[in-house]
A = this chain, B = another copy of it.
């Protein structure tokens, strides 16, 4: 339960699976925005000096505003949300952890590290029986959205018995804003996780946040200690989270491109059943054939051990990538047709 599993995004793994694929790889195996926030030159001191506490507070304040947290005191800045998972799971003493799944596998692993007995459940109501409940909202990979009212009711019920709800809003930047619960953390009983790298396309800088009631945020902050966020992450976080016009334009662009991807897929007989505008979710009996067919063309999708018919497909990042995807889908669909003809 504690071994690190595949999450997509490794071209080393892709090359091992498809050694003869044409290069460069097109990595559609993640939900990371291929259009990263514009890169800029960092001041040398962002690398050489210890991050300034004042600059870290500035990041916290901008994040509070961007995510709709009540105040900067509710925001914990971290070198990625990943490193926060076992810390958040340790906020309640070892008990029964239930994860609404299938979802991002690291939550179950983190709960186990924190000493919980972990199960995955598919029914929201079952989460009421937990000491620690975890929901990814919108969910990765299928895009399922749980409503804010349901989340707050669950959090209140868990809180009343000393439990905790974790709401992972890793993809809420492109989710329905009415369902985000960042503004409600003052009521206690839940922690929201926010990922910087996915929407801003800067997964390498490692930046994430926990949004929580003030006392919980202070406890997590103390565990991370000073200088938790690196200089480059501070600089990119402050600039990008404060750039609301880039964010608005990017949301529109991602919506358009997700639609374009759906149209392209359906043209080749692949029906999208969910996802967000950063990734599309597909259920098809031809999943394995599609994964292999595109892999051999140097296009990496995300497949899943828990469902051989499921695939997650990210957005191509350029005209060249769109073109190669279209060609590869065409070739795959044609071979599939031929096979069908032979069989019939």
Contacts and interface: CB of A to CB of B under 8 A. Distances in A.
Interface of A: 2-4, 7, 9-13, 27, 30, 32, 36, 39, 44-54, 79-80, 82-83, 85-86, 106, 109-110, 113, 197, 201-206, 222-233, 236
A50 B206 CA distance: 8
A204 B45 contact: yes
A50 B196 CA distance: 12
Contact of A51 (B30, B53, B204): B204
A85 to B, nearest CB: 7
Given A2-B222, A232-B232, A12 B53 contact: yes
Nearest to A33: B48
A230 B227 contact: no
Contacts of A83: 79, 83, 224-225, 228
A206 B113 CA distance: 24
Q: Tell which of A7, A11, A30, A50 has the most Cβ of chain B within 10 Å.
A: A50
Identical chains in the assembly: 2
A222 B4 contact: yes
Contact of A36 (B9, B48, B53, B223): B48
Nearest to A8: B50
Nearest to A51: B204
Given A10-B52, A44-B39, A49-B32, A82 B204 contact: no
A224 B51 CA distance: 21
Contact of A230 (B3, B30, B222, B230): B230
Contact of A225 (B82, B227, B228): B82
A225 B30 contact: no
A338 to B, nearest CB: 36
A104 to B, nearest CB: 11
A228 B206 CA distance: 8
Nearest to A82: B225
